[in-house]
Structure 1
Amino acid sequence: MITLKSRLVENEQFRSNRAALLAMIEQLEQRLQRTRAGGGEKYVARHRERGKLLARERIELLLDRDAPFLELMPFAATHSDFEVGASVVTGIGVVEGVECMIVAHDPTIRGGASNPWSFRKLFRALDIARENRLPFINIVESGGADLPTQVDMFVPGGEMFRSLTRLSAAGIPTLALVFGNSTAGGAYVPGMCEYTVFVEKRAKVFLGGPPLVKMATGEESTDEELGGAEMHARVSGLADFMAVDEYDCLRIARDIVRRLNHRKLGPAPSEPDDEPIYEAEELLGLASADVRVPFDMREVIARVVDGSRFDEFKPLYGTSLLTGWASIHGYPVGVLANQRGILFSEEAQKATQFILLANKKKTSLIFMQNTTGFMVGKEYEQGGIIKHGAMLINAVSNSTVPHITLNTASSYGAGNYGMSGRAYRPRFLFGWPNYRSSVMGPQQLAGVLSIVAQAAAKGRGTAFDEDADRAMRDRVEQQIDVESTALQNSGRIYDDGIIDPRDTRAILGMALSACHNNAIEGAETYGAYRM
């Protein structure tokens, strides 16, 4: 296998990129700090006065000592009224040597009440757990639904309980650790889980609290009588274990996971996992702050894969797309990386063949996006760009080996689809802080609208208003420029997280390890190819 040779030069462009990326990372870190601060000093202090741990503290104590926690979707809902992480923390961590999907409601944010974005984030976490066969641990303390937004929650919210039972049916363990309120619909979370641990004198699990019961039936009752931990442990049987305090609850949860006898079904790492020859730090200067400026994806690959080794496939054909074999932390992978942005027919055919080979070899695929989409124009339409693009999308859609997608710069138009964008359900999708994604670039989109407006004016036989057109183009460019940013996409959960480029190798390795909890199987059938 060939070891890549770097040609990176630390010139003015490199230094400019580095400065811009570091500024973006700092802005994101500030947002993360606000998210980690939960509901703010007042509500955090009140929570602590009650002798309770914070959501992230509970997760930290649940995990193995010094084990990393891959937090997912931390920027969810940043563009909404629920911008503090959608009131829930989600991520993958190791408990007793087992990789688990962990979700924790943050009770310092509106009492941990679930909102429409909480559910979207939770549904994505459930999908990741199902696809990768990860035990699912709920750390529960929630006031139920955010009632003012119930119209957007009630109907889709039932998916939460359906998914929990389907995880169990698929042989994926589910746990509920109840630290406080779990009321109304939320009471079904422990009801649907295989194992439950309730904290004594803290857990409150009931369909209807004392006021609702009084109103509905006239019956007088206390919280403890209706849904306290002791009642559920001694009378209803909903609690499998009653913990004396929060620390004991987490200890019991670790004991449960240790006894699950959960084993990975995928193959163990089989390649040397030596570090790349080149420094990950250099990725900051390599990544273009302006996504219109291309950069060499071989330089990215050389700083991510084991030993900077890359066995390139079809290097002289379809050169706007790199394809080849490598490994990351010992896991064999196939890499597809946009080299010069545009996908032509040759690139589509090359990628299709490569995806089929990866499925035959049962090898995971890493898609490194930096694409402006498929080529347009008379020559390319006549040459079959549509049917060749359809071949690629067919292969991506029906491939069954794990896909992990990384957006390093731009992901526009159908290029997003051909490179396994969110709609094509990659196991994981991450992006660098500089990335952009939309139907096309801001200038192109505004230009298209302008051309359409000119044609419409001509068809009506009216004068074309140049000033109004210029104002429209400026307005549209500004709108798309904002909507296409990494943070806006991440806020809508179109990725699983914005990552520091320097962490790319580690995060891809963690994602691959999670994928290998499930069997790695290649596709045997595809849709009909239009030749």
Structure 2
Amino acid sequence: MDTASPEFAANREAMLARLEELAAEHAKALAGGGPKYVDRHHGRGKLLARERIELLIDPDTAFLELSPLAAWGTDYTVGASVVTGIGVVSGVECLIVANDPTVRGGASNPWTLRKTFRATDIAADNRLPVINLVESGGADLPSQSEIFIPGGRVFRDLTRASAARLPTVTLVFGNSTAGGAYIPGMSDHVVMVKERAKVFLAGPPLVKMATGEESNDEELGGAEMHARTSGLADYFAEDEHDALRIGRRIVARLNWRKLGPGPSVPPVEPRYDAEELLGIVPTDLRTPFDPREVIARLVDDSDFDEFKPRYGTSLVTGWASLHGYPIGVLANARGVLFSAESQKATQFIQLANSADIPLLFLQNTTGYMVGKKYEQAGIIKHGAAMINAVSNSTVPHLTVVMGASYGAGNYGMCGRAYDPRFLFTWPNAKSAVMGPAQLAGVLSIVARQAAAAKGQPYDEETDRNLRAMVEQQIEQQSLAPFLSGRLYDDGIIDPRDTRTVLGICLSIIHNAPIRGTDRFGVFRM
């Protein structure tokens, strides 16, 4: 790769521009409810959600935030009034869910649920303890019809985690009322903050309306009452810092052990600079690039043993290690997947399962090849075999969308619907059923045929306007922030951080056993 070429410089500038746009969107999530509500919260002597997380996790360790742009492009605040992610607490990797009380009092809206459900799925799949940092007014009432019924899953997941011997810890910093009271009620370990925690099924006004009884917050659900009388509080904290200290001590006493193997070799930094990842992907995603250049900047010592390098050359497959963990890599080279690439991928996935090796999918695909020649050669059954292998593979999958992710190529390369343990995108990535121009063209052809069938003239001006409108709509809905806002990934990352993010993910997935399968169903030959 020529890092001094004009193409490289143009790619780099385009990626830096996307990263600048991404930083502006992330700033919206970090702002929470805005300066007014942040100042009000601090004025009450309380910490913000991310401040609580920073004090909870071990010093100088990373916090892998998940879905920070959830609800982007909707009527709800970016971030969905909750912060989720994975951090190391007392040496243990834990899933952390923290309400953001500066956004409508931390109330839950439909996107809060989607984001929380994705986080708890990650905890279950990767065998992680769960820590809830609670300060929430419960359901966001104007959207109650969308959250009341599905919201019950929050409590189901907590009890199932406990049954699966995944510890659940809840620290209550403020309100945890109505249905929210069941979060501490269904957790294994509960900490409540003195004169701050308020945990009850119904507050004083509702109690008076329902029973005529006069009571105050402390009598109904204060930390002192729950510590002395009801027994719901296992630990009584003097303030927020004390609660976080107690939470760290609880995790330290869990006697937690990873069930997966550790790194098999010492990690070695790549020979090539991660900074160069900014200039590899072309500004026009229709232009192919060599994914080996990306692999060389991700894997240990840039050491990659390629599998079938002369067969099915638009898909690169091979073996490497990343931060000392063994991985198998599948990376799109020229976008299109043909029959040979599909067969190669199918065999490679079977080999990874036979050796209990996690798989990394690096997506840049326009989908499976179409046309009479390829249909007659069996592209459907070969593509189906690849999707079969991806669907039934039981080793952990990690996916990074580097560029395009269109059509069934998204499926074959382990898109969101195929449950990769983690899926991240680069800021330039796009995903849709097909490219905007192709989709608009298909609609135009269909409309022309419909007019011809009815014997009606076709309006060319209307056709041009329709195509332009459709292309613009699909382009907007294909962009990374739109897709991330709908939780179709776990976050948009700086390409330079990819190795670090994947290293954290590999460590996380090894909390659970790593086991492949030999059961793939019927492959059409």
Q: Indicate which of 125, 131, 145 corresponds to 2:125.
A: 131
1:227 aligns with 2:227: no
Q: Indicate which of 167, 192, 195 corresponds to 1:201.
A: 195
Q: Indicate which of 283, 289, 295 corresponds to 1:289.
A: 283
Counterparts of residues 351-370 of structure 1 (less than 5 Å):
351-370=345-364
Tell me, yes or no, if the aligned pair for 1:288 and 1:434 is still in contact at 8 Å. no
Identity of matched residues, %: 68
Q: Indicate which of 298, 314, 317 corresponds to 1:304.
A: 298
SS of residue matched to 2:174: strand
The separation in 1 between residues aligned to 2:89 and 2:79, in whole angstroms, is 23
The separation in 2 between residues aligned to 1:527 and 1:155, in whole angstroms, is 36
Paired AA for residue 238 in structure 1: L
1:110 aligns with 2:104: yes
The separation in 2 between residues aligned to 1:433 and 1:9, in whole angstroms, is 20
Unaligned runs of 5+ in 2: none
1:15 aligns with 2:9: yes
Q: Indicate which of 120, 143, 154 corresponds to 1:149.
A: 143
Q: Indicate which of 460, 469, 481 corresponds to 2:475.
A: 481
Tell me, yes or no, if the aligned pair for 2:299 and 2:321 is still in contact at 8 Å. yes
Once the two structures are TM-superposed, the CA of residue 278 in structure 1 deviates from its matched residue by 0.5
SS of residue matched to 1:265: coil
Specify the alignment match of 1:81 in structure 2: 75
Specify the alignment match of 2:231 in structure 1: 237
SS of residue matched to 1:496: coil
Specify the alignment match of 1:166 in structure 2: 160
Q: Indicate which of 510, 519, 523 corresponds to 1:516.
A: 510
1:275 aligns with 2:269: yes
The separation in 2 between residues aligned to 1:84 and 1:456, in whole angstroms, is 42
Paired AA for residue 443 in structure 1: A
1:37 aligns with 2:31: yes
Paired AA for residue 160 in structure 1: V
Counterparts of residues 295-374 of structure 1 (less than 5 Å):
295-374=289-368
Q: In terms of mean alpha carbon deviation, does 299-308 or 37-46 score higher?
A: 37-46
Specify the alignment match of 1:4 in structure 2: none
1:251 aligns with 2:250: no
Specify the alignment match of 1:390 in structure 2: 384
Per-residue CA shift, 1:180-224, capped at 9, x if unaligned?
A: 000111111111110000001000001110111111111111111
Paired AA for residue 331 in structure 2: A
Paired AA for residue 67 in structure 1: T
Q: Indicate which of 41, 44, 47 corresponds to 1:47.
A: 41
Paired AA for residue 142 in structure 2: P
1:459 aligns with 2:426: no
Q: Indicate which of 485, 500, 505 corresponds to 2:499.
A: 505
Tell me, yes or no, if the aligned pair for 1:75 and 1:83 is still in contact at 8 Å. no
Paired AA for residue 259 in structure 1: R
Specify the alignment match of 1:446 in structure 2: 440
Paired AA for residue 412 in structure 2: G
Specify the alignment match of 2:258 in structure 1: 264
Paired AA for residue 334 in structure 1: G
Unaligned runs of 5+ in 1: 1-6
The separation in 1 between residues aligned to 2:292 and 2:521, in whole angstroms, is 32
Tell me, yes or no, if the aligned pair for 1:280 and 1:502 is still in contact at 8 Å. yes
TM-score under structure 2 normalisation?
Answer: 0.99
Once the two structures are TM-superposed, the CA of residue 287 in structure 1 deviates from its matched residue by 1.7
Per-residue CA shift, 1:286-315, capped at 9, x if unaligned?
A: 122221222110000000000000000000
The separation in 1 between residues aligned to 2:443 and 2:465, in whole angstroms, is 12
Tell me, yes or no, if the aligned pair for 1:276 and 1:302 is still in contact at 8 Å. yes
TM-score under structure 1 normalisation?
Answer: 0.98
- In the TM superposition, structure 1's runs of 4+ consecutive aligned residues that sit over 3 Å from their partners are none
Tell me, yes or no, if the aligned pair for 2:3 and 2:9 is still in contact at 8 Å. no
Q: In terms of mean alpha carbon deviation, does 77-86 or 418-427 score higher?
A: 77-86
SS of residue matched to 2:246: helix
Once the two structures are TM-superposed, the CA of residue 450 in structure 1 deviates from its matched residue by 0.7
Once the two structures are TM-superposed, the CA of residue 173 in structure 1 deviates from its matched residue by 0.7
Q: Indicate which of 65, 71, 84 corresponds to 1:71.
A: 65
Q: In terms of mean alpha carbon deviation, does 9-18 or 442-451 score higher?
A: 9-18
SS of residue matched to 2:489: coil
SS of residue matched to 2:279: helix
SS of residue matched to 1:481: helix
SS of residue matched to 1:86: coil
The separation in 2 between residues aligned to 1:266 and 1:258, in whole angstroms, is 20
The separation in 1 between residues aligned to 2:265 and 2:301, in whole angstroms, is 10
The separation in 2 between residues aligned to 1:518 and 1:75, in whole angstroms, is 28
The separation in 2 between residues aligned to 1:150 and 1:528, in whole angstroms, is 45
